[in-house]
Amino acid sequence: MPDYQPVPLPDWQSYSDDEMRRRAKDYLEDIQRRHSVRAFSDKPVPRDIIEACIRAAGSAPSGANHQPWHFVCVSDAETRRKIRIAAEHEEAEFYSGRAGEDWLEDLDKLGTDQHKPFLETAPWLIAIFLQRSGVDADGNKQKNYYMSESVGIATGFLLNALHRAGLATLTHTPNPMKFLSEILQRPATERPYMLLVVGHPADDATVPGAALQKKSLDEIASFV
Ligand code: IYR
């Protein structure tokens, strides 16, 4: 393995069982306060906070460490307006039939509809793109691996970083999302993966009550 150049774990921190217990519980309590928010304030969020969160996302593991993602952070009002118009166009189709009855019935409890004013109200939209292929250091086309797993993990890191920073988020997936590639001028090698809405919640923001219930530990895990 001529390319393998190992170094000792550079920055590992160890904790006692009690410290780990406390850290695990603190994290659990904090992340349980994350909720998808659909009503945002227009209060600005400084760009450097978004940058730190994107760097956290960029630290995610990925297939062969190819990091097959690109994050377009949009604060420009005109671009957010274009995205809103295009997204609402797709959502109108979705809610007026494309979704099908079962899907719409499943969404009843969320209180969503085709109107997405938050795409213009929130100070930041983060469009996440999955790179089907990349470019290596010599400019040659590079194969990527486990792209959706990798971008999913990075997106999870990003949501977590934003929440920890004190920001509200919405994972938004208008379908199809091709308009994002066009508006944001991304290459055909990239597939729009998800649109995150980021900012402070509106003072009168609400969340669905009973529909927020998460499955219990017994339901989601088994120990062998
Ligand atoms: N993209 C639509 C519909 C929607 C779909 C699912 I699955 C959700 O969990 C929530 C909404 C919208 O954003 O309204």
What topology does CATH give the domain 37-203? NADH Oxidase (3.40.109)
pLDDT, residue 60, reads 98
pLDDT per residue of the chain (224 residues) written in tens, 0 to 9: 679 999 999 999 999 999 999 999 999 999 999 999 999 999 999 999 999 999 999 999 999 999 999 999 999 999 999 999 999 999 999 999 999 999 999 999 999 999 999 999 999 999 999 999 999 989 999 999 999 999 999 999 999 999 999 999 999 999 999 999 999 999 999 999 999 999 999 999 999 988 889 999 999 999 99
Whether 92 lines ligand 1, by a CB cut-off of 6 Å, is no
pTM of the model: 0.97
Ligand 1 site-directed mutation target among 91, 106, 109, 173, most atoms within 8 Å of CB:
173
Q: In the chain, what is the straight-line distance between the N-terminal and C-terminal CA atoms, in Å?
A: 36
Each domain of the chain, given as residue ranges in start order, spans 37-203
Element housing 135 (H / E):
strand 133-135
Place of tokens 């956290």: 56
pLDDT, residue 1, reads 64
What is the phi/psi pair of residue 11, to 5°? -145, 30
Whether 211 lines ligand 1, by a CB cut-off of 6 Å, is no
Rg (the chain; Cα; Å): 20
Whether 110 lines ligand 1, by a CB cut-off of 6 Å, is yes
